[in-house]
């Protein structure tokens, strides 16, 4: 199989670009490195495309390996034919390959294998021909023995052999699988119709398999696992057993009648249940893949959220009985002070004392931003903080942030190592504060699965989910780059070419020898060899070092070319260090990028990237994003909302059926996919992003269930609200 050609056709990417990408992957180059520094070889494929290529390549190689094992097994049985070999060569999925192998797979004891052991296979061959001159009863008498007592037993054994062969026919299985996917109907019913469960919408439910949405498939699967639902697939007989009979039954002779009985038994007992399992597995796999894609994209958007730089932040981890844990962190994320404020239970002296503590901390440390976790007691904490902010002598604002994963981090060894003198709740408050300052730097310390931006993440295949999310984290960290002298080892460990051991060695080298002054010092770090240096160097920044290029995404391999570009455009390296090269893009445009590319001997994409970096050394792509929505006014409650009311909110999570928006009323409101835009929306990710600030209108408020329905379609009478 020509893997590259298959991938090229499937992904609609030219063969030349696929060849370039595969060659680099096989050389051991990392995806962030290829995406950033080998654009000429791949035609500027991005990290998402490269991961798709890598995933498909690994699958096809696994398929080829399995086909080799199957071929060897069939050859050892002496049953390989030219036709069978051609079918195996043509198989494009593991399922197809296993279908071909099924008749030759060593079997456990079955009714058919037992019949064969009793010597009934020749009788099955006689009946299979459906010869009009043959009397099956008479033929069966020749096969009676100690194990086969009478003709009825002999004929039943022959039918069992035929039934298993029919069910194992690769072409039939494929045809029936396609038929079930096109015409099957997935149905569910209640295991106990009187039971109150979250799955009551599915107590009497049916939907064509071909149209079943991924989130409904996952809900059905979970309901079945929890014993609340009975789930299956039905298929109209005209689309199933009738087709099956017509495939095997040639006539209405006595032999033909026996073949008909074998076919019906095969369909009901063997084929249908097997294909039903395969189809359910396939639709579940599709649903899993779609959910993983949504989870990964949500995570990407969350990690790449705009940081609040240069602000002193107060982190608040809300609680009732034990109070709200407080942590003030300075502009660099260093902890300045911690405390506990009892501001969530009742009124009176305790509340006022807690608010006074928060006020004194904010004034003392000139806190301008408060980050409040969205967990238990968040509503009460938010109300108290809003009151404090209104009484401050300086401007400040707050934001409720997701505290998902904060408790995981605070109890982890990493959290204990980072803050050995703090208890878990204090560490949690620090994490909540820092994730407002720099979401990426803080959230990389947490298992991506614990961040909770997706749907049914606990039902996903763990290996596939972890691989996808780890890939997103790696892409995000490398696209931003990290400061070599301030980055934590968890952040460094996500840089291309650097594992946890090397990351810890970098931090140890820094602690022993002081700050890095240029990238070349990385070569002195234990276990960081030439290959790792090539992969990681361009993503690590040295601010204020010897060479201004070390504070850019320009790779050391291109330093000479970068200096030539500076010179051609009328600038020098010292201009770059002093911030005086801001006009380089305009100067390069006058010369012509193609001319510069030819002069320095680099491809046009690389030259374009270098010039962009020289124009803004140390740039952070997140700085170009809209800032997060901060609040300072009084807090609203659900009962304050009215139909048609206009609100401004932040998208917190995106799912297949819409998105959830935080409008400052504690409960996130749902914008159904049908309410995202005036036009048809196929995928919510096409319209909204996690962290995006959006304008919404209230459609409905359910006070009993604490639910808010929102719309992003502007109502005609919205101006009246």
Q: Has residue 478 been placed in a domain?
A: no
Assign residue 546 the CATH number of its domain.
Answer: 1.10.150.310
Six-digit token string for 100 = 């071909």
Q: Are residues 620 and 651 in the same domain?
A: no
Per residue, the 3-state secondary structure of 264-292, as one string, reads: HHHHHHHHHHHHHHHHHHHHHHHHHHHHH
Q: Do 466 and 449 contact (CB within 8 A), yes or no?
A: yes
Q: Of 80, 104, 128, which one is at a domain's C-terminal end?
A: 104
By DSSP bridging, strand 369-373 and strand 313-317 are parallel
CA 366, 369, 375: angle at the middle one, nearest 5?
A: 135
Q: Are residues 466 and 325 in the same domain?
A: yes
State how far the Cα of 136 lies from the Cα of 472, in Å rounded to an integer: 65
Q: Are residues 642 and 693 in the same domain?
A: yes
Q: What is the mean pLDDT of residues 215-233?
A: 94
Q: Has residue 265 been placed in a domain?
A: no
Among 7-11, 491-495, 577-581, 636-640, the minimum mean pLDDT is found in: 577-581
Q: What is the mean pLDDT of residues 558-576?
A: 91
Q: Are residues 559 and 644 in the same domain?
A: no
| Residue 572 β-bridge partners | none
- Hey, is 325 helix, strand or coil? strand
Q: What is the mean pLDDT of residues 569-591?
A: 84
Q: What is the mean pLDDT of residues 411-440?
A: 90
Q: Do 233 and 179 contact (CB within 8 A), yes or no?
A: no
Q: Are residues 610 and 698 in the same domain?
A: no
Q: Has residue 203 been placed in a domain?
A: no
> Which letter, b or e, does each residue of 482-509 get, where b requires 16 or more Cβ atoms within 10 Å of its Cβ?
bbbbebbbbbbbbbbbbeeebbbbbeeb
Query: pLDDT-derived band of residue 112, with 50, 70 and 90 as boundaries?
Result: very high
- Hey, is 226 helix, strand or coil? coil
Assign residue 669 the CATH number of its domain.
Answer: 2.40.50.140
Q: Has residue 252 been placed in a domain?
A: no
| Residue 695 β-bridge partners | 648
Assign residue 399 the CATH number of its domain.
Answer: 3.30.420.140
State how far the Cα of 453 lies from the Cα of 295, in Å rounded to an integer: 6
Please give the mean pLDDT across all residues of the chain.
91
Six-digit token string for 487 = 């980055």
Assign residue 47 the CATH number of its domain.
Answer: 1.10.10.650
What are the angstrom distances between the C-alpha of 210 and each of 184, 213, 233? 8, 9, 12
Four-residue CA torsion sign, 135, 137, 142, 147: positive
Domain count for the chain, please give it.
Answer: 4
Four-residue CA torsion sign, 680, 683, 687, 688: positive
Q: How many CB atoms lie within 10 A of CB 573?
A: 16
Q: Has residue 182 been placed in a domain?
A: no
Residue 19 has pLDDT above 50, yes or no: yes
Among 60-69, 379-388, 616-625, the minimum mean pLDDT is found in: 616-625
By DSSP bridging, strand 335-341 and strand 324-329 are antiparallel
DSSP, res 617: T
Q: Of 451, 471, 491, which one is at a domain's C-terminal end?
A: 471
Residue 317 has pLDDT above 80, yes or no: yes
Count how many Cα atoms sit within 13 Å of the Cα of residue 657 in the half-sphere of its side chain.
13
What was the pLDDT predicted at 208? Answer: 96
Query: pLDDT-derived band of residue 107, with 50, 70 and 90 as boundaries?
Result: confident
Residue 395: closest CA among 363, 436, 355, 373: 363
Q: What is the mean pLDDT of residues 672-698?
A: 92
Beta strands in 330-407, from DSSP E residues, in sequence order: 335-341, 369-373, 397-401
What was the pLDDT predicted at 427? Answer: 92
- The reported pTM is 0.82
**Residue 11 CB burial class (10 angstroms; 0-12, 13-18, ≥19):** middle
What was the pLDDT predicted at 580? Answer: 67
Q: Do 501 and 329 contact (CB within 8 A), yes or no?
A: no
Q: Do 361 and 433 contact (CB within 8 A), yes or no?
A: no
Among 171-180, 617-626, 638-647, 677-686, the minimum mean pLDDT is found in: 617-626
Supply φ then ψ for residue 715, to 5 degrees: -65, 150
User: Which residues form the domain of 682?
Assistant: 638-720
Task: Tell me the pLDDT tens digit for each residue of 254-308.
Answer: 999 999 999 999 999 999 999 999 999 999 999 999 889 888 888 898 888 888 9
State how far the Cα of 662 lies from the Cα of 233, in Å rounded to an integer: 39
DSSP, res 626: P
Residue 456: closest CA among 231, 220, 686, 195: 220
Which single residue is written with the structure tokens 């962009």?
612
What are the angstrom distances between the C-alpha of 309 and each of 272, 312, 426? 60, 9, 22
Q: What is the mean pLDDT of residues 506-530?
A: 95
Per residue, the 3-state secondary structure of 633-677, as one string, reads: CCCCCHHHCCCCCEEEEEEEEEECCEEEEECCCCCCEEEEHHHCC
| Residue 698 β-bridge partners | 710
Q: Are residues 451 and 348 in the same domain?
A: yes
Question: How far from each other are the two terminal CA atoms of the chain, in whole angstroms?
Answer: 64
Q: Are residues 577 and 454 in the same domain?
A: no
Express as a percent the part of the chain with pLDDT over 90: 67
What was the pLDDT predicted at 186? Answer: 97
Residue 548: closest CA among 571, 528, 570, 569: 571
Q: Do 449 and 414 contact (CB within 8 A), yes or no?
A: no
CA 554, 557, 563: angle at the middle one, nearest 5?
A: 60
CA 18, 537, 543: angle at the middle one, nearest 5?
A: 135
Which DSSP string corresponds to 432-470? HHHHHH-HHHHHTTS-GGGS--SSSGGGS-HHHHHHHHH
Q: Of 104, 127, 150, which one is at a domain's C-terminal end?
A: 104
Q: Are residues 393 and 458 in the same domain?
A: yes
Q: Are residues 665 and 606 in the same domain?
A: no
Residue 377 has pLDDT above 90, yes or no: no
What was the pLDDT predicted at 719? Answer: 54
Six-digit token string for 313 = 């932040």
Q: What is the mean pLDDT of residues 453-460?
A: 75
Q: What is the mean pLDDT of residues 54-78?
A: 94
Supply φ then ψ for residue 232, to 5 degrees: -160, 180
Q: Has residue 334 been placed in a domain?
A: yes
Q: What is the mean pLDDT of residues 133-138?
A: 94
**What are the residue ranges of helices labelled H in 39-120?**
39-42, 47-76, 82-90, 94-101, 111-117
Query: pLDDT-derived band of residue 94, with 50, 70 and 90 as boundaries?
Result: very high
Residue 720 has pLDDT above 70, yes or no: no
State how far the Cα of 232 lies from the Cα of 221, in Å rounded to an integer: 10
State how far the Cα of 179 lies from the Cα of 233, in Å rounded to an integer: 12
State how far the Cα of 114 lies from the Cα of 119, in Å rounded to an integer: 9
Residue 718 has pLDDT above 70, yes or no: no
State how far the Cα of 636 lies from the Cα of 376, in Å rounded to an integer: 17
State how far the Cα of 436 lies from the Cα of 403, in Å rounded to an integer: 11
The CA-based dihedral angle spanning residues 139, 142, 144, 145, taken in that order and rounded to the nearest 10 degrees: -160
What was the pLDDT predicted at 721? Answer: 44
Q: Do 477 and 448 contact (CB within 8 A), yes or no?
A: no
Q: Are residues 467 and 318 in the same domain?
A: yes
Query: pLDDT-derived band of residue 414, with 50, 70 and 90 as boundaries?
Result: confident
Query: pLDDT-derived band of residue 350, with 50, 70 and 90 as boundaries?
Result: confident
Q: Do 388 and 367 contact (CB within 8 A), yes or no?
A: no
What was the pLDDT predicted at 611? Answer: 93
Q: Are residues 612 and 680 in the same domain?
A: no
Alpha-carbon radius of gyration of the chain: 33
Q: Are residues 619 and 687 in the same domain?
A: no
Q: What is the mean pLDDT of residues 611-628?
A: 84
State how far the Cα of 289 lies from the Cα of 467, in Å rounded to an integer: 12
Q: What is the mean pLDDT of residues 595-609?
A: 93
């Amino acid at each position: 199989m020509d893997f590259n050609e298959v991938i090229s056709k499937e992904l609609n990417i030219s063969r030349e670009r696929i060849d370039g990408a595969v060659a680099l992957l096989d050389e051991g180059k990392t995806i962030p490195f290829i995406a950033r520094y080998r654009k000429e070889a791949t035609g500027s494929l991005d990290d998402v495309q490269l991961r798709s290529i890598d995933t498909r390549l690994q699958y096809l190689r696994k398929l080829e390996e399995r086909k080799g094992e199957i071929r060897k097994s069939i050859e050892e049985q002496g049953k390989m034919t030219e036709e069978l070999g051609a079918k195996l060569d043509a198989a494009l999925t593991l399922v197809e390959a296993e279908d071909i192998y099924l008749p030759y797979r060593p079997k456990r004891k079955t009714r058919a294998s037992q019949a064969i052991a009793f010597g009934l296979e020749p009788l099955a061959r006689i009946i299979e021909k459906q010869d009009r001159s043959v009397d099956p009863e008479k033929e069966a008498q020749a096969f009676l023995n100690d194990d086969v007592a009478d003709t009825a037993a002999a004929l039943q054994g022959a039918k069992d052999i035929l039934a298993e062969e029919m069910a194992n026919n690769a072409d039939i299985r494929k045809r029936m699988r396609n038929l079930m996917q096109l015409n099957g109907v997935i149905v569910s019913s209640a295991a106990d119709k009187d039971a109150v469960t979250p799955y009551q919408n599915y107590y009497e439910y049916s939907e064509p398999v071909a149209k079943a949405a991924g989130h409904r498939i996952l809900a059905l699967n979970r309901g079945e696992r929890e014993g609340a639902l009975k789930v299956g697939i039905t298929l109209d007989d005209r689309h199933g057993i009738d087709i099956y009979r017509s495939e095997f039954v040639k006539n209405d002779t006595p032999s033909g009648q026996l073949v008909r009985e074998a076919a019906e038994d095969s369909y009901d007992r063997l084929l249908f249940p097997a294909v039903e399992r395969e189809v359910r597995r396939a639709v579940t796999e599709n649903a899993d893949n779609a959910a993983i894609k949504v989870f990964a994209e949500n995570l990407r958007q969350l990690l790449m959220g705009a940081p609040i730089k240069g602000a002193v932040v107060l982190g608040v981890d809300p609680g009732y009985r034990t109070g709200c844990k407080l942590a003030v962190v300075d502009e660099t994320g260093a902890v300045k002070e911690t405390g506990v404020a009892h501001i969530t239970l009742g009124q009176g002296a305790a509340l006022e004392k807690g608010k006074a503590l928060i006020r004194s901390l904010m004034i003392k440390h000139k806190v301008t931003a408060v980050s409040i976790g969205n967990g238990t007691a968040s509503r009460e904490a938010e109300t108290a903080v809003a009151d404090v902010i209104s009484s401050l002598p300086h401007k400040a604002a707050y934001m409720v942030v997701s505290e998902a994963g904060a408790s995981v981090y605070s109890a982890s060894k990493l959290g204990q190592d980072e803050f050995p003198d703090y208890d878990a709740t204090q560490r949690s408050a620090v994490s909540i504060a820092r994730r407002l300052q720099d979401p990426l730097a803080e959230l990389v310390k947490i298992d991506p699965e614990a961040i909770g931006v997706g749907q049914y993440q606990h039902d996903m295949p763990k290996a596939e989910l972890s691989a996808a999310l780890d890939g997103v984290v790696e892409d995000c960290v490398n696209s931003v780059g990290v400061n070599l002298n301030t980055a934590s080892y968890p952040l460094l460990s996500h840089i291309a070419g650097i594992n946890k051991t090397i990351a810890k060695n970098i931090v140890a080298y820094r602690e022993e020898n002081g700050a890095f002054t240029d990238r070349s010092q990385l070569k002195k770090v234990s276990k960081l060899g030439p290959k790792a240096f090539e992969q990681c160097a361009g993503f690590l920044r040295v601010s204020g070092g010897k060479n201004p290029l070390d504070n850019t995404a320009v790779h050391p391999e291109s330093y000479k070319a970068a200096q030539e570009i500076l010179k051609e455009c009328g600038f020098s390296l010292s201009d770059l260090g002093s911030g005086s090269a801001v006009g380089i893009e305009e100067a390069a445009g006058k010369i012509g990028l193609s001319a510069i590319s030819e002069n320095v001997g680099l491809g046009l994409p690389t030259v374009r990237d270098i010039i962009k970096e020289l124009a803004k050394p140390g740039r952070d792509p997140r700085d170009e994003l809209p800032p997060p929505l901060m609040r300072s006014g009084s807090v609203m409650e659900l009962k304050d909302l009215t139909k048609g009311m206009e609100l401004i909110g932040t998208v917190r999570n995106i799912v297949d059926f819409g998105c959830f928006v935080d409008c400052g009323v504690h409960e996130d409101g749902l914008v159904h996919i049908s309410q995202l835009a005036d036009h048809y929306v196929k995928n919510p990710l096409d319209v909204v992003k996690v962290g995006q600030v959006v304008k919404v209108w209230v459609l409905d408020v359910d006070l009993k269930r604490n639910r808010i329905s929102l719309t992003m379609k502007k109502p005609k009478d919205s101006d009246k609200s």
